[in-house]
Structure formats: C-alpha cells, structure tokens
Amino acid sequence: MKLHADRHDTVAITAYGDGWIAVNGQRYDHSVVVSSSGRVEPWACTRVEDLRAEHFDKLPHGDAAPPELVVFGSGSRLRFAPSALLSGLTTRRIGVETMDTRAACRTYNILASEGRRVIAALLLGGEDAPSGSGSG
C-alpha cells in the first residue's frame, strides 16, 4: 500500500508490504527505527521474543529533543512487549503505543504530519517473514 504524508518536511513512511517498508521512497527489508526528526536506522531485532530493554532504551538517542511517543510496530500481528522492557521510556515520560507494523506505519505518518515528535520502532522479519523466502 502506498501512503502519502501531508507535510513534506518530515520523514514519512511512503509504502509498506509483507516484510518491508519504504521511508521517503527508500525500501527497507529489515527492522527499522524512523524518527520524525529525520533519523532512519536499522533496529537490531526481528522478533518480539528477542526484544531487550536496551532495544527501547536506545530509541530516543540521536534526536535533538526526546520524542513524545514511540509507536512500536510488533510485526504482522499485535504482540505486546513486556512492560519491564518499556520502563526506561516510561520513566522519562515518553509514551509507548503498540500495534501491528502496518497500523504503526499509518499512525506514525499521521503524528509526524501533525508536527509531533514521534519515533516508529518497526519489527520486520522473524515469524512475520513470508514462508520459504530467503532474505526476504
């Protein structure tokens, strides 16, 4: 599905499909962190089961101002990360919303287009990769 952001001065998720997303037209076949401040980088995790607190603790680093919200895309289906893994964000008063990755892409775009400080942490891979595919 192709997506279009209302604002053109922010990083936008421009398309997505099974096991991939495109950010400003650049395709990614691995988990990624997308920040409305302009940061796009790989996220070193592919499955909810492999998440550790440091995966979430590192999310706000590199942005000029801390985000208001982290939108966590848990893959092809909704799966919540254990709350203990999110405590580093919540103690810094950074909200966390969990949804499947497709919904997270849409939500990120809406919030970023409104000028909100938001980060999307999107899982792509693991059990969400198509069966029988090589590197996706």
Domain ranges of the chain: 13-126
Contact 12, 119 (CB under 8 A): no
Please, is 131 exposed, middle or buried when counting C-beta atoms within 10 Å of its C-beta (0-12, 13-18, 19+)? exposed
Backbone angles phi, psi at 23, to 5 degrees: -115, 120
Q: ∠35-40-42 over CA atoms, to 5°?
A: 120
> Residue 69: what are its φ and ψ, rounded to 5°?
-150, 140
19-46 pLDDT per residue, tens: 999 999 999 999 999 999 999 999 999 9
Average pLDDT, integer, range 57-83: 90
Is the per-residue pLDDT at 136 higher than 80? no
Q: Is the pLDDT of residue 108 over 50?
A: yes
Residue 64: the pLDDT is: 74
- Distance in angstroms (rounded) separating the CA atoms of residues 36 and 53: 22
pTM: 0.84
pLDDT band, very low/low/confident/very high, at 3 (cuts 50, 70, 90): low
Question: What superfamily in CATH does domain 13-126 come from?
Answer: MTH938-like (3.40.1230.10)
Local confidence band at 125 (pLDDT 50, 70, 90 cut-offs)? confident
Cα distance between residue 19 and residue 129, in whole Å: 5
